[in-house]
Every structure is written in C-alpha cells, then in structure tokens.
Amino acid sequence: MNNEFTLSSLCTENFRKTINGKETALYILKNKTGCELTVTNYGAKIVSLTVPDRSGQWTDVVTGHASIDDYLSSEEPYFGAVCGRYANRIANARFTLDGRTYGLAANNGPNSLHGGIAGFNAVVWDVKRADDRSIELRYVSVDGEEGFPGTLTTIVTYELTDDGEVVIRYRAVTDRPTVLNLTNHSYFNLSGAGDPYIGDHQLTVNADYYLPTDGTSIPLGPPEKVEGTPMDFRTAHEVGERIDADFEPLVIGRGYDHTYILNKTAGELAFAARCHSPKTGIVMETFTTEPGVHLYTGNWMTGNLTGKGGRRYPRQSALCFETQHYPDSPNKPDYPGVVLRPGETFESQTVYKFSTE
C-alpha cells in the first residue's frame, strides 16, 4: 500500500502498525461524486467521512484520530468502531443462557459495556476484500473471549455508494449458543468534526417510545411514551433545545443517552432518524433493520484529547446513532431476542445517507 494523504488530510503511513502480530492500515473508499470514507481494520473503525456542504465545501463529519497510536491511547475508545460482542450494556456484567450463567468484565460501573475490556473495537480485524467502493472485514472471537460463549465469526462490510450512502452490513455465525448485539459507534458532527457543539442540529427520531434507565444506564421498567417529554423527536427539534431540561432521564445521562424503540416492522430496513446542521446544510438520514437506535450526545466527552487536524472534541460536540438491539436484552426475555445459535446466521444492515439543503 503506497503512502498517501486523504481528502480529510490523514496520512496512511500513520495507520501502519503491528498489533498482536497483525498489521493495521487505513483504507480509502470514494464514490463518483468525490465523497470519501476511510476505515482502519483496528476496531473496524470509521476514521473519516468527508461529504460536501451546501456550498460544495468538503466537510469531515465524524470525530476521530490521525494515527493508530492516538486510537490506542484515546480516552474515547469507541470512536467510529464496531462494538461487540454485545454493544451497549449488560446489567451486573452477567447473563444466563440455557440455564448457565456467564460472567463478563464489569467495565462500566457494575455493568459490561460494548463487549468488555477488549471488545470488537479494540482488536485487529482481517481485511478479506477491499476496493475503491467497499471493504469487508472479518473477526473470529474465540469461545470464552471476554466471558462470552461460543466461537463467533463476524463479517462487517462498509460500502460508499454513488447516492451518498454509507451502507454497513453485518453477518455472524457461531458454533455454540451465544448473545450478540453489533453496532457502529461513529460520533457525528454535521457542522464538521471539531465544531464545538451539536445543540443546533435539527433532529427527528422515528419512535413513539424510549427506554428509561436507572442510574447506571440499564433499562428500568417498561418502555415509556416520548409524547409530552423532552425525549420527543417525532417532529424536528434542536438537539440542545431541551437537553438540559429538569427531566430525570436527561439528568441521569447528562444529556441524551437512551435507546429509542423504532416505529417499524422487525427486520425491515426502515427510517430511524434524520439530522441536519443549519451551519453547513448537511443532512444525514439513518435507516436500519435493527429494532432500536441509541441516541448519545457525547455527554462524557472532555475536550482533553487531540483529534484529527489538532482539533479537540468537548462535551456534546458530537452525537451517535447506534442502531442496535436493546441494552441488557440477555436479561430481559420480553425484549427482541439476541441469542444466536449454531446453524443460524445473524444479519443486519444500517444506512447513513447524506445530502444537503
């Protein structure tokens, strides 16, 4: 792979490293209009996503780092990553499957978060195929890794289409019953990565219900209606309009950090959310086959780390649309199932579509 610079000013040389005997690199995808998506096989992370604003100026809309070394030491280990084996939280870092209880790493208070201490975000994936438009990555998680049962083989494909879409496809198989929940954890700022606040972004979420949580962000009680609350984005509102409201779920989360139950048929690729920056005119629409989307507004970002281009990312300077099954589903049998068994194939798809207005 020749050394080169990307549209987002990344140097590919800074992504070459050997980690646990595997080589990392930066892969560049482009479409016919010139949009650019860069991906590293460390954590299957989206590193940059450059799209035009309303005036045609190229704008990188995801936070991230300029080198593998920065990712390895980052206080935000999930920037752009695929999270697994179980994205989001499992209460008390344990679950029971087929009568057996499995203990996990408690890496988020008493809970397990995003697959544990070394989840899918912190391993080197094998690149099975890469061209100008798409990349296919594969990771084999061995039986017992981070406490999860079964050897799980996961394939993630990123595609950049000529219609301005980033298409993410997931497939997984296992040799023993296990639990599985996969998502991409890109942090978006449609005014450009490094813009200090996403409060002016106009947001719509296609959900009548959300999951309230306890003080450790575990779903608590039945789903609640968004109607009449600051959680209601069924029509467009500025993200910052009600983010500091005296409303217990927002106080607990220091902002939005909640799963929305999407208005859709199970397995259907359907509209989940729309976000728009008035500064740049960039619009991002999210579609998914997953039953939920977890909205996170970067409430725990500190501004301490240095990102791409020397920029800092302060609190609430990005937001995430984590398409996924619900948190703590292995311990909540009334939620959509997350058990994968031998002979079955897990398949999921998410689309981030970009345009301007």
Token pair recorded at residue 203: 């947001």
Cβ-contact 236, 244 below 8 angstroms? no
Alpha-carbon span 49 to 70, nearest angstrom: 18
Beta strands 82-83 and 89-90, pairing class: unpaired
Instruction: Confirm whether 322 is a catalytic residue.
Output: yes
Instruction: Confirm whether 185 is a catalytic residue.
Output: yes
Beta bridge pairs of residue 237:
203
In 3D space, the residue among 156, 186, 182 whose CA is nearest the CA of residue 296 turns out to be: 186
Cβ-contact 16, 99 below 8 angstroms? no
Q: Which of 36, 65, 114, 185 is catalytic?
A: 185
- What burial class does residue 292 get, using C-beta atoms within 10 Å of its C-beta: 0-12 exposed, 13-18 middle, 19+ buried? buried
First and final CA of the chain: distance in angstroms? 37
Alpha-carbon span 77 to 83, nearest angstrom: 10
In 3D space, the residue among 168, 185, 152, 159 whose CA is nearest the CA of residue 71 turns out to be: 185
In 3D space, the residue among 253, 265, 225 whose CA is nearest the CA of residue 315 turns out to be: 253
Alpha-carbon span 36 to 86, nearest angstrom: 29
- Other residues' Cβ atoms within 10 Å of the Cβ of residue 331: 16
Token pair recorded at residue 197: 């606040």
CA distances to 9, 125, 254, 322, 331 from 104, rounded to whole Å, are 39, 22, 26, 22, 13
Q: Which of 146, 258, 322, 325 is catalytic?
A: 322
Cβ-contact 290, 264 below 8 angstroms? no
Token pair recorded at residue 270: 């359907």
- Give the type of residue at 10: L
Catalytic residue positions?
185, 322
